[in-house]
Amino acid sequence: MKEVDVCQVACVDQERVNRVKAILNPEVTKDVAKIFKALSDDTRMKIAYSLYLEDELCVCDVGHIVGSSTATASHHLRLLKNMGLAKYRKEGKLVFYSLTDEHVKQLISIAFEHQKELSSLD
Protein backbone atom coordinates (compact mmCIF):
# COMPACT_ATOMS: atom_id res chain seq x y z
CA MET A 1 0.00 0.00 0.00
CA LYS A 2 1.30 3.43 -0.98
CA GLU A 3 1.92 5.86 1.89
CA VAL A 4 0.05 9.15 1.55
CA ASP A 5 2.03 12.22 2.58
CA VAL A 6 -0.73 14.80 2.29
CA CYS A 7 -3.78 15.50 4.42
CA GLN A 8 -6.68 13.37 3.36
CA VAL A 9 -9.19 15.92 4.64
CA ALA A 10 -9.18 19.72 4.46
CA CYS A 11 -8.51 21.10 7.93
CA VAL A 12 -7.12 24.60 8.52
CA ASP A 13 -6.22 25.91 11.96
CA GLN A 14 -6.95 29.55 11.11
CA GLU A 15 -5.48 30.84 14.39
CA ARG A 16 -2.10 29.24 13.64
CA VAL A 17 -2.24 30.30 10.00
CA ASN A 18 -2.95 33.93 10.93
CA ARG A 19 -0.23 33.94 13.60
CA VAL A 20 2.44 32.70 11.19
CA LYS A 21 1.32 34.90 8.30
CA ALA A 22 1.52 37.95 10.57
CA ILE A 23 5.17 37.14 11.32
CA LEU A 24 6.32 36.17 7.81
CA ASN A 25 7.89 39.05 5.95
CA PRO A 26 8.11 38.34 2.19
CA GLU A 27 11.17 40.56 1.76
CA VAL A 28 13.04 38.80 4.55
CA THR A 29 12.17 35.33 3.28
CA LYS A 30 13.40 36.32 -0.20
CA ASP A 31 16.71 37.53 1.25
CA VAL A 32 17.13 34.38 3.34
CA ALA A 33 16.36 32.25 0.26
CA LYS A 34 19.15 34.10 -1.59
CA ILE A 35 21.61 33.06 1.12
CA PHE A 36 20.66 29.41 0.72
CA LYS A 37 20.75 29.75 -3.06
CA ALA A 38 24.31 31.08 -2.84
CA LEU A 39 25.28 28.13 -0.64
CA SER A 40 23.45 25.58 -2.81
CA ASP A 41 26.35 25.56 -5.27
CA ASP A 42 28.80 22.75 -4.42
CA THR A 43 31.89 24.86 -5.10
CA ARG A 44 30.66 27.76 -2.97
CA MET A 45 29.76 25.37 -0.16
CA LYS A 46 33.28 23.91 -0.32
CA ILE A 47 34.67 27.43 -0.13
CA ALA A 48 32.43 28.41 2.78
CA TYR A 49 33.34 25.24 4.68
CA SER A 50 37.03 25.82 3.97
CA LEU A 51 36.71 29.34 5.37
CA TYR A 52 34.91 27.90 8.38
CA LEU A 53 37.76 25.44 8.96
CA GLU A 54 40.63 27.89 8.43
CA ASP A 55 39.10 31.26 9.43
CA GLU A 56 40.87 33.04 6.56
CA LEU A 57 42.29 31.95 3.19
CA CYS A 58 44.01 33.64 0.27
CA VAL A 59 42.15 33.51 -3.07
CA CYS A 60 44.99 31.36 -4.48
CA ASP A 61 44.62 28.85 -1.63
CA VAL A 62 40.86 28.68 -2.19
CA GLY A 63 41.43 27.92 -5.88
CA HIS A 64 43.74 25.03 -5.00
CA ILE A 65 41.38 23.68 -2.36
CA VAL A 66 38.38 23.55 -4.71
CA GLY A 67 40.40 22.61 -7.81
CA SER A 68 39.69 25.74 -9.81
CA SER A 69 41.56 28.66 -11.29
CA THR A 70 42.18 31.74 -9.19
CA ALA A 71 39.73 33.63 -11.41
CA THR A 72 36.96 31.08 -10.78
CA ALA A 73 37.66 31.03 -7.05
CA SER A 74 37.59 34.83 -7.04
CA HIS A 75 34.23 34.82 -8.83
CA HIS A 76 32.70 32.49 -6.22
CA LEU A 77 34.24 34.43 -3.34
CA ARG A 78 32.91 37.70 -4.75
CA LEU A 79 29.41 36.21 -4.91
CA LEU A 80 29.68 35.07 -1.28
CA LYS A 81 30.88 38.57 -0.36
CA ASN A 82 28.02 40.23 -2.24
CA MET A 83 25.56 38.00 -0.40
CA GLY A 84 27.02 39.11 2.94
CA LEU A 85 28.47 35.68 3.73
CA ALA A 86 32.16 36.53 3.30
CA LYS A 87 34.43 39.53 3.64
CA TYR A 88 37.94 40.24 2.43
CA ARG A 89 41.04 42.18 3.28
CA LYS A 90 44.05 43.06 1.16
CA GLU A 91 47.60 42.52 2.30
CA GLY A 92 49.96 43.86 -0.32
CA LYS A 93 49.16 41.99 -3.51
CA LEU A 94 47.24 39.23 -1.72
CA VAL A 95 43.53 39.11 -0.94
CA PHE A 96 42.33 37.09 2.05
CA TYR A 97 38.72 36.04 2.57
CA SER A 98 36.90 35.00 5.72
CA LEU A 99 33.31 34.36 6.74
CA THR A 100 31.45 37.52 7.73
CA ASP A 101 30.44 36.69 11.29
CA GLU A 102 29.51 34.06 13.85
CA HIS A 103 26.02 33.59 12.36
CA VAL A 104 27.47 32.49 9.02
CA LYS A 105 29.93 30.18 10.79
CA GLN A 106 27.06 28.61 12.74
CA LEU A 107 25.02 28.16 9.57
CA ILE A 108 27.88 26.29 7.87
CA SER A 109 28.69 24.27 10.99
CA ILE A 110 25.09 23.21 11.60
CA ALA A 111 24.62 22.20 7.96
CA PHE A 112 27.65 19.90 8.09
CA GLU A 113 26.71 18.49 11.50
CA HIS A 114 23.23 17.75 10.19
CA GLN A 115 24.62 16.00 7.12
CA LYS A 116 26.94 13.87 9.28
CA GLU A 117 23.95 12.80 11.39
CA LEU A 118 21.95 11.91 8.27
CA SER A 119 24.89 9.95 6.87
CA SER A 120 25.25 7.97 10.08
CA LEU A 121 21.62 6.84 9.78
CA ASP A 122 22.29 5.05 6.48
Q: How far is CA 42 from CA 36, 76, 94, 111, in A?
A: 12, 11, 25, 13
Domains in the chain and their CATH numbers? 14-121 (1.10.10.10)
50 contacts 96 by C-beta, under 8 angstroms: no
Provide the pLDDT for residue 97.
Answer: 98
Provide the pLDDT for residue 69.
Answer: 96
87 contacts 100 by C-beta, under 8 angstroms: yes
Provide the pLDDT for residue 55.
Answer: 95
Furthest CA-CA distance within the chain:
66
Write down the pTM of the prediction: 0.86
Q: How far is CA 67 from CA 43, 52, 63, 77, in A?
A: 9, 18, 6, 14
- Please give the chain's pLDDT, 122 residues, in tens: 678 888 888 889 999 999 999 999 999 999 999 999 999 999 999 999 999 999 999 999 999 999 999 999 999 999 999 999 999 999 999 999 999 999 999 999 999 999 999 988 87
Provide the pLDDT for residue 1.
Answer: 67
Provide the pLDDT for residue 4.
Answer: 83
Provide the pLDDT for residue 3.
Answer: 82
